[in-house]
Amino acid sequence: MRTTVIGSGSWGSAFARLLALRGHEVEVLTLAREEAVRLQATHENPHFLPGVQLPQAIRFTGRDDASLDGIELLVYAVPTQAVRDAARWAAPRRPRDTLQLSLAKGYEIGTLDRPTQVIEEETGAGAAALSGPNHAEEVGKDMPSATVIACADEAVALRLQTALTSETFRVYTNDDVVGVEFCGAIKNPVAVAVGMSDGLGFGDNSRASLITRSVAEMTRLGMIQGAHIATFTGLAGIGDLIATCTSRHSRNRLAGELLAKGVPPAEVESRVGQVVEGLHTAYALHDMAGRLGVEMPVTENVYQVLEGNRTPRECVAHLMARTPKSERHEGL
């Protein structure tokens, strides 16, 4: 399958490698021409995916020099807030029958659109979403992983499943696009909260409590939007939540640790060295929960820290002082 991947970050590079090893023809587009020249010369991406040699068959091209003529699959491997720009660029260039796949996990600030909604708005064609516990650092080293492709069109989902499944990358399908994208977005600010707990020196009890109570938040807000409850216990839900909240690879968890240690919110992403989706998604979830009237105490406290209204330690006191409730009667 002739494929173009927009984005040369950690996940874009690892995903391109996965496709190339499956025998697909792969071109990766970079924003800067200079970056494409460097990647083409070395087939290594030490800043985003250190220690991984990328297949020589992958071509790297600056976006301004690229053509989408004849491609069969277009992959959006850019941060959520950059999806609209990428889709707008692709819209007049992509063949009409090209399959589209989003790897982004978040909500567009302002519109509160999911990545596949943004892609459809800009290109006039639908897109599938891939989500799950898939740290690029591990996928890039062929460590066994599983993921889920969500698409309203079962035939498209099955075609992508066949194209991507390998000995080390197991792909499931799901028709709950809303739920899969929602879970992929909300787990990031939850991981920021867990990172704050870790940064304050708290232990396993605190981490497990935050993760578990966040599942209740995910379910409350997600089901109101039409997500299926089974999705929350699947790879895109619990699976990705566990990986993002506990992994040493998690940028979102690291961001939370930095916040707990006093790093100003405006400096966190530069300290992490990559985009931290959870910092942006916290704002989108604050707006979404407010519009829908849904209580989201964990992610709301992350928002309050980012706004400078509370310290991470004050968030702990705020959460622990909430009115006691029955765990069994939350409409889950």
Q: Where in the sequence numbering do the catalytic residues fall?
A: 187
Phi, then psi, of 92 in degrees rounded to 5: -80, -5
Residue 281 Cα to chain centre, angstroms: 10
Cα torsion through 72, 50, 261, 134, rounded to 10: 40
Q: Give the C-alpha separation, 240 to 232, whole Å.
A: 10
- Beta-carbon contacts of residue 174 (< 8 Å; ≥ 6 apart): 148, 149, 150, 157, 180, 231, 234, 236
Half-sphere exposure of 195 (CA within 13 A, CB side): 35
CB 2 within 8 A of CB 70: yes
Q: Give the C-alpha separation, 46 to 84, whole Å.
A: 27
- Beta-carbon contacts of residue 267 (< 8 Å; ≥ 6 apart): none
Q: Which H helix or E strand runs over 124?
A: none
